[in-house]
């Protein structure tokens, strides 16, 4: 008996040039990918204003509008969101059904994950900057991160 195991993977599209995000997603789609992950902001700028929130939403919207539900979108914030804006941004992205939002706050500010998680129904991801089992233990205990 053969079993086929399928694992969903995404392709990194960067996103340092906002005007190229949809084109990069199209390239990956043409190569058979049905999910992409991208930077939230151009050249890893901090998200500290409503204007920057609108820019992130515009980038994600460009992919969602082109592909509909045929393409999943992961958005990596690299912890470059001020805590008050993390909730605003996550809520603004919610209608676009992101696959996940990664590092909405820095891991050393793990207590803020709960505030963001409680405000939206979008999976939150983190872990690449955590190195000890104790750091992971705290996140698991809080129950606020969906993807490690």
Q: What domains lie within the chain, and their CATH numbers?
A: 25-142 (3.20.20.120)
Q: What is the pLDDT of residues 126-142, one digit of tens each?
A: 988 888 888 888 888 88
Instruction: Indicate the average pLDDT of the chain.
Output: 90
End-to-end Cα spacing for the chain: 32
DSSP 78-114: TT-B-HHHHHHHHHHHGGG--SEEE-SS-GGGTHHHH
32 phi/psi in degrees, rounded to 5: 105, 0
pLDDT for residue 125: 93
3-state secondary structure of 47: strand
Higher pLDDT, residue 130 or 71: 71
- Packed helices 83-93 and 50-67: angle between N→C axes, nearest 10 degrees: 30
**Rounded-to-10 torsion of CA 131, 100, 105, 90:** -170
């Amino acid at each position: 008996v053969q079993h086929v195991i399928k694992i969903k993977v995404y392709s990194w599209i960067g996103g340092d040039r906002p005007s190229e995000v949809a084109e990069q997603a199209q390239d990956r789609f043409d190569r058979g990918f049905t999910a992409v992950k991208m930077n939230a902001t151009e050249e890893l700028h901090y998200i500290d204003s409503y204007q920057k929130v609108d820019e992130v939403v515009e980038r994600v919207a460009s992919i969602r509008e082109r592909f509909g539900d045929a393409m999943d979108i992961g958005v990596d914030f690299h912890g470059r969101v001020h805590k008050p804006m993390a909730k605003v941004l996550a809520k603004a992205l919610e209608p676009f059904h992101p696959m996940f939002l990664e590092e909405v706050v820095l891991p050393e500010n793990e207590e803020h994950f709960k505030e963001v998680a409680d405000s939206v129904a979008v999976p939150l991801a983190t872990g690449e900057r955590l190195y000890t089992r104790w750091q992971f233990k705290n996140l698991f205990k809080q129950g606020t991160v969906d993807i490690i």
